[in-house]
């Protein structure tokens, strides 16, 4: 129910909102410029100016205007609002608002509501050890950084999922609105069930310009905007004020309209009344037009500033060294009349903070924004879903299919909590995870047809053909206290490289802040991987996402390469139990030999890397180490060992499997790095190591570069060779086939007698036969297709 006020009461509140807005604008501006004299109690002098001026002004007045009216909306309706701020460099505005509402001082006692607190606020912005220009984990009430444009809306919708009482106000900058990821995320309401989820209120802030040129949306007419958003399923309200008062009147009305619209849709859908189909319910969006840098300098040196791109950063660049510009800055700051806003002690006056919510309703106190309320997942024991292996390699299975059955159990066990989702860009079935549909469907709010499969309004599998949107949804979901998995074709995971990079930075900083809650790890499952792109070919063959994570802070990244289904189950259980990490898991969806029973898989995962004694003919005193990381490399390494046993049986071989990639690093370089003794127990200290690796060979070399004598590692992996070809030929093209690995082991062993030379000739001949055979028959040779592991005693 919208609160109805008398004209006198409303005029009074409009005046309070304007006072608050002026105060926020003032505090935002002084953060850019001042290190002293922050209340202008004496004439402004060069020594009051910061020695290093950085930051942006242009977006601040619009952000402050929106924040002020959200405060009023929260007060009037006692509603929980989370704020996601998309425009970059908006930190000083949001810090100003958090300061005025008192939440900033709660987390940073030095930022109290007085003269000293204002001075500290001004000094800390863009100061070493202070607040950066973009919002970050150190800012309460935030879960979105804003520096990398395009993801605010997907983060906002991720936070709204399964939060039925939450409204997420998402400010979209007009520059950000031009990005591809943002364009896809406009479709998010088509996947958000109003019956069980909260609502997102997008507020598109059009101030005319980006960094140095006009924005597309700002140049669109009202009719064009209406047609654009109507086609996307939104009901639009444009706020285009002619004056300051008009801005407050229009935005007040727009906020009330949007709130009433949201509650009306939720009431209709949640009541199950006729006509409640979600696709019939348009979602509200507010478009706010304001001049860029509004209330700032109108002109400087005869050049227009307000309303142009010149207001984007610092409207006045050099006040400390230019007396005329110093006077212009003082005139600008005094135009807010700080004496009317703050008392003699520097405390905001009553009318300034009268519209601020109190207690936990303050935006800066939103518990979800700091990851609060997280309920640990109830997880089934993976042994329940483990496959029976018997002799290593005697059984075949599709690892992701087996994982799908496990995840169906995860969905069922957490149905009441509704705190787990799978995010996947239209590939759940393609990735052979379709067993999850035994427990849930794909979410879809649009009309359904009889030919659709596994789709419903309340499904918990989120599929849209946008890697950006899926990954952004997951980030918003876990950062607001829930759990999930992003499953993707390996080659397309690099589309979200920069998103995951930013998330890694967020986690790194968040871990250093005591009042941030632990959040569930961002679990990335990559399948349909480089070594089994039989029909898609070269464009789909790329394991580069490993490279993205390996370069990130070791405190937050983990990379796992389970060799079979049981190892995948145990790895996923571990990752779903973890917090504050980015877990990368790479696994096959194809039928592959299964090597480890449930207990062996547990031990292999726990150790990170281990000797497979059953695949070693003299594990205690080897002459060469055959190592593998990844399912395809493991298969080829084991096959290479059988070739060595056949053609050079006296060569003493040890097999090492690496499932935790970072176990290769030293413990000083990564927490999962093996200590020197354990590393030596696996790889010896002086024997050659033939290493078959899932990704680019240089990654292994980078990880072991602090190990003694790293030159003895000879790594084979993906070297950017590929095409539409047979699975085995992919390993041949990249010099990682069993024949290449066996030959490399012989050459590095130092054996040069006739038997060793004859073995090399045979291996080379087998490679030649392979090339001829696949070109003639189109499939791999029978000896490849029918190969099966046999213990040495049975050969």
CATH code of the domain in which 443 resides: 3.40.50.970
Residue 246's pLDDT is: 97
Residues 6+ away with beta carbon under 8 Å from 787: 639
Contacts of 386 (CB under 8 A, 6+ apart): 565, 566, 569, 597, 598, 601
Tell me the mean pLDDT in the region 613-627: 92
Whether the pLDDT of residue 601 is over 80: the answer is yes
pLDDT in tens, 710-729: 999 999 999 999 899 999 99
Looking at the chain, the whole-number percentage of residues with pLDDT higher than 70 is 98
| Residues 67, 31 share a domain | yes
Any domain includes 9: no
Task: Flag whether pLDDT at 221 surpasses 70.
Answer: yes
Q: Is residue 677 part of a domain?
A: yes
pLDDT of residue 534: 76
DSSP 437-448: GGT--EE--S--
Tell me the C-alpha distance between 299 and 311, whole Å.
10
What single string gives the DSSP state of each residue in 744-759?
Answer: HHHHHHT--SHHHHHH
pLDDT band, very low/low/confident/very high, at 793 (cuts 50, 70, 90): low
Distance CA 750, CA 747 (A): 6
Q: Apex CA 287: angle with CA 286 and CA 290, to 5°?
A: 130
Q: Which residues of 286-302 are buried (b: 16+ CB within 10 A; e: fewer)?
A: bbbbbbbbbbbbeebee
Beta strand 713-716 with 653-658 is unpaired
Domain end marker among 342, 370, 398: 370
Looking at the structure, do residues 334 and 437 belong to the same domain, yes or no? no
Domain count, the chain: 3
Q: Are residues 650 and 710 in the same domain?
A: yes
What number is the average pLDDT over the span 419-431? 95
Instruction: Provide φ and ψ at 775, rounded to 5°.
Output: -70, -30
pLDDT tens readout for residues 147-185: 778 999 999 999 999 999 999 999 999 999 999 999 999
Pairwise CA distance, residues 319 & 420, whole Å:
53
**What is the arithmetic mean of pLDDT over 19-30?**
98
Residues 393 and 305 in one domain: no
Give the residue from 707, 705, 657 showing the smallest Cα distance to 680. 707
Residue 631 lies in a domain: yes
Measured N-to-C along each axis, helices 631-647 and 738-749 cross at an angle, to the nearest 10 degrees, of: 60
Q: Residue 410 and residue 487: Cα distance in Å, rounded?
A: 15
In a domain, 10, yes or no: no
State which of 318, 342, 370 marks the end of a domain: 370
Given pLDDT bands bounded at 50, 70 and 90, which one contains residue 741? very high
Residues 155, 188: contact at Cβ < 8 Å?
no
Which of 438, 410, 458 shows the shortest CA–CA distance to 576?
410
Contacting residues for 7 by C-beta, under 8 A, at least 6 apart = none
Same domain, 239 and 296: yes
- Using pLDDT thresholds of 50, 70 and 90, give the confidence band for residue 1: low
User: pLDDT tens for residues 243-287?
Assistant: 999 999 999 999 999 999 999 999 988 888 655 666 667 899 999
Q: Is residue 599 part of a domain?
A: no
Any idea which of 458-472, 606-620, 758-772 has the lowest mean pLDDT? 606-620
Three-state SS at 624: strand
The whole-angstrom separation of Cα 119 and Cα 18 is: 23
β-partners of residue 246 are: none
Q: Which residue has the tokens 């709010």?
A: 445
Q: Taking the CB of residue 541, how many other CB atoms lie within 10 A of it?
A: 24
Residue 430: is its pLDDT beyond 60? yes
CA distance 134 to 147: 6
Instruction: Classify burial at 129, counting beta carbons within 10 Å of its beta carbon; exposed 0-12, middle 13-18, buried 19 or more.
Output: exposed
Q: Which two tokens stand for residue 19?
A: 């006072």
Contact residues for 108 (Cβ-Cβ < 8 A; gap 6+): none
Question: Among 343, 370, 397, where does a domain finish?
Answer: 370
Specify the pLDDT at position 275. 59
At residue 289, φ and ψ (nearest 5 deg) are -100, 120
Classify 381 as helix, strand or coil. coil
Q: What is the pLDDT of residue 2?
A: 63
The pLDDT of residue 795 is above 80: no
Question: Are residues 237 and 296 located together in one domain of the fold?
Answer: yes
Are residues 137 and 506 in contact, defined by beta-carbon separation less than 8 angstroms? yes
Q: 558 by DSSP, 3-state: which?
A: strand
CB 218 within 8 A of CB 289: yes
Average pLDDT, the chain: 95
Please check whether residues 405 and 317 belong to one and the same domain: no
Tell me the pLDDT band of 792, cut-offs 50, 70 and 90: low
Please say if the pLDDT value at position 5 is more than 80: no
Per-residue pLDDT tens digits for 314-339: 999 999 999 999 999 999 999 999 99
Residue 685 is assigned to a structural domain of this protein: yes
> CA-CA distance, 522 to 143, in Å (whole number)?
14
Residue 536 pLDDT grade (very low, low, confident, very high; cuts 50, 70, 90): confident
Of the pLDDT bands very low, low, confident and very high (cuts 50, 70, 90), residue 92 is very high
Q: Considering the domain boundaries, does residue 441 fall inside one? A: yes
Q: Does the pLDDT at position 767 exceed 60?
A: yes
Element (H, E) at 286: strand 283-289
Q: Beta partners for 718?
A: none
Residue-wise pLDDT for 674-707, tens only, equals 999 999 999 999 999 999 999 999 999 999 999 9
Report if residue 376 sits inside a domain: no
771 lies in the same domain as 672: yes
Residue 585 sits in the same domain as residue 615: no
**What residues contact residue 753 under an 8 Å CB cut-off, 6+ apart?**
none
My answer on whether 274 and 131 are in the same domain is yes
Same domain, 198 and 325: yes
Coil, strand or helix at 577: helix
DSSP string, 683-734: H-SSS-EEEEESS-HHHHHHHTTTSSSGGGEEEE---S---S--HHHHHHHT
Residue 1 neighbours by CB distance under 10 Å: 7
Q: Return the structure tokens found at 474.
A: 């997951």
Band the pLDDT of 211: cuts 50, 70, 90: confident
Structure tokens at 567: 């190892």
Mean pLDDT of 179-202: 96
Beta-strand relationship, 592-594 and 582-586? unpaired
Domain region containing 440: 382-593
**Each residue's pLDDT tens digit, 224-234:** 999 999 999 99
Task: Find the radius of gyration of the CA atoms of the chain.
Answer: 30
Q: What is the CATH number of the domain that holds 675?
A: 3.40.50.920
Q: Please, what sign has the CA dihedral across residues 58, 61, 65, 71?
A: positive
Written as six digits, the tokens of 539 are 């464009």
- 206 and 328 fall within a common domain: yes
pTM: 0.96
> pLDDT tens, 460-489?
999 999 999 999 999 999 999 999 999 999
């Amino acid at each position: 129910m919208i609160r109805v006020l008398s004209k006198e009461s409303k005029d009074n509140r409009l005046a309070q909102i304007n006072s608050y807005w002026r105060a926020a604008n003032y505090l935002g501006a002084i953060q850019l410029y001042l290190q002293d004299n922050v209340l202008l109690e004496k004439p402004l002098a060069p020594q009051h100016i910061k020695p290093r001026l950085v930051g942006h002004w242009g977006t601040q007045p619009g952000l402050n205007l929106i924040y002020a009216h959200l405060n009023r909306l929260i007060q009037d309706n006692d509603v929980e609002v989370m704020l996601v701020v998309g425009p970059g460099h908006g930190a000083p505005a949001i810090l100003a608002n958090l300061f005025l509402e008192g939440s900033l001082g709660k987390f940073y006692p030095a930022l109290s509501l007085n003269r000293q607190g204002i001075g500290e606020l001004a000094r800390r912005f863009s100061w070493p050890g202070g607040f950066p220009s973009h919002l970050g984990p150190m800012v309460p009430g935030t879960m979105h950084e804003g520096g990398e444009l395009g993801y605010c809306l997907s983060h906002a919708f991720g936070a709204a999922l399964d939060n039925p009482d939450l409204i997420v106000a998402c400010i979209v900058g007009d520059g950000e609105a031009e990005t591809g990821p943002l364009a896809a995320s406009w479709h998010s309401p088509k996947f958000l069930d109003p019956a069980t989820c909260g609502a997102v209120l997008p507020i598109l802030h059009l101030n005319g310009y980006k960094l140095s040129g006009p924005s597309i949306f700002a140049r669109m007419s009202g009719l064009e905007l209406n047609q654009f958003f109507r086609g996307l399923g939104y009901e639009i309200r444009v706020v285009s004020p002619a004056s300051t008062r008009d801005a407050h009147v229009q935005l007040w009305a727009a906020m009330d309209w949007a709130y009433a619209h949201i509650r009306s849709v939720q009431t209709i859908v949640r009541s199950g009344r006729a006509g409640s189909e979600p696709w019939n319910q348009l979602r509200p969006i507010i478009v706010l037009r304001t001049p860029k840098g509004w209330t700032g300098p109108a002109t400087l040196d005869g050049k227009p500033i307000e309303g142009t791109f010149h207001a984007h950063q610092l409207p006045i660049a050099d006040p400390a060294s230019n007396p005329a510009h110093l006077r212009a800055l003082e005139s600008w700051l005094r135009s807010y009349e700080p004496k009317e806003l703050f008392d003699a002690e520097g405390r905001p006056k009553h009318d300034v903070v009268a519209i601020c919510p109190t207690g936990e309703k303050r935006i800066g106190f939103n518990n979800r924004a700091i990851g609060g309320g997280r309920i640990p997942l109830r997880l089934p024991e993976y042994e329940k879903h483990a496959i029976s292996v018997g002799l290593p390699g005697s059984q075949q299975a599709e690892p992701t299919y087996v994982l799908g059955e496990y995840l169906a159990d995860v969905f069922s066990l957490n149905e009441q909590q509704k705190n787990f989702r799978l995010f996947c860009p239209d590939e759940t079935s393609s990735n052979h995870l379709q067993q999850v549909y035994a427990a849930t469907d794909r979410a879809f709010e649009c009309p359904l047809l009889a030919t659709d499969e596994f789709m419903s309004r309340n499904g918990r599998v989120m599929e849209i053909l946008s890697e950006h949107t899926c990954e952004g949804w997951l980030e918003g979901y876990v950062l607001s206290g829930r759990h999930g998995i992003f499953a993707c074709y390996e080659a397309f995971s690099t589309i979200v490289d920069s998103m995951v990079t930013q998330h890694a930075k967020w986690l790194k900083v968040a871990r250093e802040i005591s009042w941030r809650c632990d959040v569930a790890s961002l679990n990335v499952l990559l399948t349909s991987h480089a070594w089994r792109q039989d029909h898609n070919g070269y464009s789909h063959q790329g394991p580069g996402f490993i490279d993205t994570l390996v370069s990130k802070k070791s405190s937050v990244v983990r990379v796992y390469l389970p060799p079979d289904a049981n190892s995948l189950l145990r790895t996923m259980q571990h990752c779903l139990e973890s917090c504050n990490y980015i877990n990368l898991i790479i696994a096959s969806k194809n039928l592959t030999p299964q090597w480890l029973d449930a207990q062996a898989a547990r031990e292999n995962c726990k150790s990170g890397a281990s000797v497979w004694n059953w695949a070693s003919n003299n594990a205690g005193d080897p002459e060469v180490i055959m190592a593998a990381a990844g399912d395809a490399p493991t298969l080829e390494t084991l096959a290479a060992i059988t070739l060595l046993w056949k053609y050079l049986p006296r060569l003493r071989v040890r097999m090492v499997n690496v499932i935790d990639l970072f176990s290769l690093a030293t413990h000083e370089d990564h927490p999962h790095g093996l200590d020197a003794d354990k590393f030596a127990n696996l790889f010896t200290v002086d024997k050659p190591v033939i290493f078959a690796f899932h990704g680019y060979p240089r990654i292994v070399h980078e990880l072991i570069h602090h190990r003694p004598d790293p030159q003895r590692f000879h790594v084979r992996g993906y070297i950017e060779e590929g095409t539409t070809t047979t699975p085995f030929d992919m390993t041949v093209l990249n010099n990682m086939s069993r024949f290449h690995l066996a030959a490399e082991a012989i050459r590095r062993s130092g054996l040069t007698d006739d038997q060793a030379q004859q073995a090399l000739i045979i291996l080379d001949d087998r490679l030649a036969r392979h090339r001829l055979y696949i070109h003639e028959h189109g499939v791999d040779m029978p000896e490849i297709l029918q190969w099966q592991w046999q213990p040495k005693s049975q050969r």
